Amino acid sequence: MTRPEIDALLARHRAAFDQRDAAALAATHTDDGTFESPAAGLVRGRKAIAGVYAYWIASFPDIDFTWSEPIVDGDRLALFWQFRGTAAGKFFGDVKPGTKVRFAGAGDYRVSAGGIVSVTHVFDFTGALVNAGVLKIKPAT
């Protein structure tokens, strides 16, 4: 893919996030694409990927997912991102509605003319659960 084609794919992906549209997000992936993260594990195929996006959008209806300028090397790219959202009540457990959640991460993407072939997200999932109030931690004594 050329850099303008990659930029156009990412623009469609970003627009789908802005619209909070799980189906449109999944449509930016290839039919047999993979999505991997500490929260979702490894999922394969658009339908499963749409389910991951739908879960996060339902958990955080005001989801704000932003990323830095991609680092592109051929058909691979890296994105460093920020997640912000207000919990609606369920997020890998019961969360007090209105809880603000914020964390940073990175994504390793492989792309083709058909869309996102694979993405692996890396972030502190335990920290996100603590931030959301799902996990409680004891201060060190």
pLDDT tens for 22-76 read 999 999 999 999 999 999 999 999 999 999 999 999 999 998 988 999 999 999 9
Give the whole-angstrom CA distance, residue 106 versus residue 75.
17
Residue 140 lies in a domain: no
Tokens of 112: 């083709």
Q: Give the chain's domain count.
A: 1
Residue 103: which domain range? 3-131
Give the whole-angstrom CA distance, residue 122 versus residue 33.
18
| DSSP, res 89 | S
CATH code (residue 90)? 3.10.450.50
Residue 136 lies in a domain: no
Q: Residue 139's pLDDT is what?
A: 76
Q: Residue 124's pLDDT is what?
A: 87
User: pTM for this structure?
Assistant: 0.89
Provide the CB-side half-sphere exposure for 82 (13 A, CA).
Answer: 6
**Which of 92, 81, 30, 29 is CA-nearest to residue 56?**
92
Average pLDDT on 84-108 reads 87
Tokens of 88: 């609606």
Residue 138 lies in a domain: no
Give the whole-angstrom CA distance, residue 1 versus residue 116.
11
Residue 137 lies in a domain: no
Cβ distance 27 to 46 under 8 Å? yes
Residue 90 lies in a domain: yes
Residue 35 lies in a domain: yes
